[in-house]
């Protein structure tokens, strides 16, 4: 994997993570947190799709790596909902 491919994957993961965070309305950080949520969402979403024998809906290939966009967004939503349930709320 070349350096431009890595940067492109980071940008895609950041966009996917921020979409998942914006759908749930829960965000705990900035760009780096969105990238991490995007990658974790891709792992979680792909695992869920394989577990339920669901097909890859929209997959983006960057170099030799395939990034499942739809499952990554669904995984990011699930991951941020779990984070929202596990973290304590601030009282105002």
- Cite the DSSP H helix spans in the chain: 3-24, 31-51, 69-86
Residue 68 corresponds to which tokens in the numbers above? 């499942």
pTM of the model: 0.85
pLDDT in the model for residue 77: 93
- Residue 66 forms beta bridges with which residues? 61
In the block, which residue shows the tokens 């995984």? 75
pLDDT in the model for residue 60: 85
Other C-beta atoms closer than 10 Å to the C-beta of 85 total 8
Residue 55, classed as helix, strand or coil, is coil
Tell me the per-residue pLDDT of 40-89, one tens digit each, with 9 for 90 and over: 998 999 899 999 998 888 888 888 888 888 999 999 999 999 988 888 87
pLDDT in the model for residue 68: 86
Query: In angstroms, how far apart are the furthest CA atoms of the chain?
Result: 48
């Amino acid at each position: 994997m070349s350096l431009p491919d890595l940067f492109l994957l980071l940008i895609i993961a950041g966009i996917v993570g921020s979409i998942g965070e914006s759908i749930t309305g829960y965000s705990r950080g900035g760009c780096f947190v969105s990238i991490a949520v995007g990658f974790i969402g891709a792992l979680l979403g792909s695992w869920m799709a394989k577990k339920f024998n669901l097909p890859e809906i929209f997959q983006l290939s960057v170099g030799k790596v395939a990034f499942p966009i739809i499952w990554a967004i669904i995984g990011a939503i699930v991951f941020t909902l779990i984070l929202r349930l596990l973290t304590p709320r601030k009282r105002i």
